[in-house]
Structure 1
Amino acid sequence: MAPTVDHVVPRAKGGPSWAENEVAACRRCNAERGQRSPVEWLEECVRRGWPADPTALGAVLDRLDAAIDVHGGQRRARPYLRSQRRRLQRSG
């Protein structure tokens, strides 16, 4: 199945269309995730027994946070991103 582009921080939550906020995902995973948060989707994948990598998700969140620091803006994405980092740390 061909990969699709999935926004880690959903556009509906202020996530930018930057490479730092985009990951490859199969069409099924992208569609099933919908508007769930990245950590919520990670937890769902674990529950289903699908491969899930919290370290990789943390790296993507860190990369996006650093990009926001450089480029600025993203007023809506910043608090959402911080909450996802905290939630990921608690779940790990």
Structure 2
Amino acid sequence: MRAVQREGGACVWCRRPFSDLVVPTTDHLVPRVRGGPSWLENEVAACRRCNGQRGHAGAADWVRECRGRGWEPDVDHLLAVLGDLEAAVAQRGGQRRAREAVQAQVRRLRRLR
């Protein structure tokens, strides 16, 4: 799980460090049902709890939910990952639905900074 290594050993949403009790999973930043590809550029490391509870919610909606729970997701990191995804989509082509979803999430996350 390369996304887990990139995130530095903590959930991108709730910031809990991964351990035997806090199991890391790979979460698609743009959910597959919204056209998000299964590329490293679309993956972040999340604990099993956050990944399961987030479901298909957009990144900006889940950031609001996390903040309501007293957690502080790293919005700048999420924007950086979305920027990488946007560049990958532009380079590889296709992924029209993903492109639209990425642009919408970037706009919404920038307002949450």
What do residues 21-57 of structure 1 show as CA deviations (whole Å, max 9, x unaligned)? 0111100000000110011111111111113111011
Q: Distance in 1 between matches of 2:59 and 2:67?
A: 12
2:102 to 81, 88, 91: 81
- What is the Cα-based RMSD across aligned positions, in Å? 0.9
Shift, 1:91, TM fit: 2.2
How high is the sequence identity, in percent, across the aligned residues?
55
1:12 aligns with 2:28: no
* Secondary structure of residue in 2 paired with 1:80: helix
Bigger helix fraction: 1
1:56 to 77, 93, 97: 77
Shift, 1:69, TM fit: 1.0
Q: What is the number of residues matched between the two proteins? A: 92
Q: Distance in 2 between matches of 1:29 and 1:91?
A: 19
* Secondary structure of residue in 1 paired with 2:96: coil
| Corresponding residue number in structure 2 for 1:42 | 63
Deviation beyond 2 Å, 4+ runs, structure 1: none
Q: Which has the higher contact order (CA 8 A, sep 6+)?
A: 1
Q: Distance in 1 between matches of 2:37 and 2:60?
A: 18
Q: Distance in 1 between matches of 2:48 and 2:67?
A: 18
* Secondary structure of residue in 2 paired with 1:76: helix
After alignment, is 17-26 or 47-56 more displaced?
47-56
Q: Distance in 2 between matches of 1:22 and 1:49?
A: 23
Kindly provide the amino acid, as one letter, of the partner of residue 24 in structure 1. A
